[in-house]
Amino acid sequence: MPNDICCVVTSSGRTVLGDGTVVDFDAVYQDLLAPAVRDAGLDPYLIQRTGEALANPDLERLIFCSFAIFDLTAGSAHFALGVRAGTHPGSTIVVCAAAEDSRQIPLPPVPYSLTPAGAPADAGETRRELVRRLQAMRAAAARGPFAASSMERLVNEFVGVQHTKTDVFRDRVEYSEPLKQRLAKAREDKEKPAESLRAVEALLPDVENTEAGVLIDLMLSYRAVKAWDDVVRLVEKMPKPLAASVMVREQYAFALNRAGRGEEAERELFTILKDHGPSSETGALLGRVYKDRWDAAQKAGDAEAPKILDQAIEAYLKGFEADWRDGLPGINTVTLMELREPPDARRLDLIPVVAYAVERRIASGGADYWDYASRIELAVLAGRRERALQALGDALGKIREIWEPETTLRNMRLIRAAKERRGEPVDLLREIEAALVKAAHPALAG
């Protein structure tokens, strides 16, 4: 997946300015702007203007990318610059040929000189100045996020409980209603939903010119029907600014792991943590990678299984500590602590904290499937039969995607296996498992 992206907005080809100066915009990009971006540790993403206005997908790229450079030589592009500067103040650089009248440019520009053929002259000095400014902006960004558009904030800087952001996105994003309905209908196909979604995808223009809202909803639709390879494929051909966004990268890692590519998922999640710091969602996804690895190791009789289980516990715990409001990584932490031999004593202190987080979410009126599923697990661990069955009924009524009850079913089976090894009763667990199998798919029985 890409590093942080710097969009470079410039013209193409050779142009002769009013005073006769020749500008070779392709050479300026290749010899000056793109190398400066790379020297600053960023990936350049070229947006070429064919006139004053940019197409809507290009404007979206400008909103999603971390940084931007505008070459305003031979064209103002004030609207696009205004969109960018309005959504990300302090993360945009303007450049122009020294021959251009800088009084017409709304931000203080970095000037560059040209050879008679239009290529950048003495590019080294200008390049160093651009690198200095980009690195300074990166340092400022590390101290605190820029203001952002509602779309970009939803995808990159969601401020609510992290595991809810994909559902919130689908509920709030606005784009073509007929296309939204096509995706919804395709997801509901009982026979071949993934093929139906691919048919909708085939109706789209090339991905590079498709709106961000459409691409993310399509990605989440593939996820909903467990088409993990399609999620990976779609993300890998998304425009870099969108593919580099936090939510897309998390979903990419999630799909990689579900597709059996756990090591790649692990690397991607570590990169997200390095770039953006800890979050409950990233921690939970990393914990799931290790949980799957532990499960496989345990079934294979691998002596390293206990060590891998501890890795999973610590990843989930760090996710919960990143945001105490999010009970999802918390319940996974205490459940895996229960599965250790012997059980991790820290769970006794954590269970009340996780339970409080879950109950506050439910009391808020915004509870989703995972909140009630967490209540099931807490009740099972406490041996509270009636509460567990009530939570089960509530959770079944909140299912949105088929893999949700499958995940809970897997946890129930892990808990049952541990209790059976200890000679503890498991009738309640079997009852819950049967209901989850019926809700998910009969093929999961056994």
Q: Output the pLDDT for position 159.
A: 47
Q: Which fold has domain 149-265?
A: 1.25.40
Of 418, 430, 361, the closest CA to residue 389 belongs to 430
User: Per CATH, is 5-148 categorized as 3.40.50.2300?
Assistant: yes
User: How far is it, in rounded angstroms, from Cα 318 to Cα 312?
Assistant: 10
pTM of the model: 0.74
Chain segment 316-340, per-residue pLDDT in tens? 999 999 998 899 999 999 999 999 9
Comparing 290 with 13, the larger pLDDT belongs to 290
Is the pLDDT at 42 greater than 80, yes or no?
yes
Task: Calculate mean pLDDT across residues 338-364.
Answer: 93
Percent of the chain past pLDDT 90, that is, above it, reads 58
Residue with tokens 């692990």: 266
Chain segment 135-178, per-residue pLDDT in tens? 998 887 766 544 444 455 555 555 455 666 566 656 655 566 77
Output DSSP code: residue 33: I
DSSP result, 235-295: HHTS-HHHHTSHHHHHHHHHHHHHTT-HHHHHHHHHHHHHHH---HHHHHHHHHHHHHHHH
Task: Calculate mean pLDDT across residues 346-358.
Answer: 94
Of 219, 196, 11, 203, the closest CA to residue 97 belongs to 11
Question: Could you give the 3-state DSSP secondary structure of residue 44?
Answer: strand
Q: Output the pLDDT for position 209.
A: 76
Of 348, 343, 354, the closest CA to residue 421 belongs to 343
User: How far is it, in rounded angstroms, from Cα 382 to Cα 377?
Assistant: 9
Is the pLDDT at 101 greater than 80, yes or no?
no
Chain segment 265-319, per-residue pLDDT in tens? 999 999 999 888 899 999 999 999 999 999 999 999 999 999 999 999 999 999 9
Q: Output the pLDDT for position 446.
A: 41
Alpha helices per DSSP H over 65-192: 78-87, 123-143, 150-156, 165-172, 177-187
Q: Output the pLDDT for position 345.
A: 95
Q: First vs last Cα of the chain: how many Å apart?
A: 38
Residues of the chain with CATH 3.40.50.2300: 5-148
62 touches 47 (CB < 8 A):
yes
Q: Which amino acid is at 146?
A: F
Contacts of 54 by beta carbon, 8 Å cutoff, 6+ apart: 9, 47, 62, 77, 79, 80
Among 27-31, 34-38, 173-177, which stretch is predicted with the lowest mean pLDDT?
Answer: 173-177
Chain segment 412-428, per-residue pLDDT in tens? 999 999 999 999 999 99
Residue with tokens 């509270």: 384
Q: Write down the mean pLDDT value for the chain.
A: 86
Residues of the chain with CATH 1.25.40: 149-265
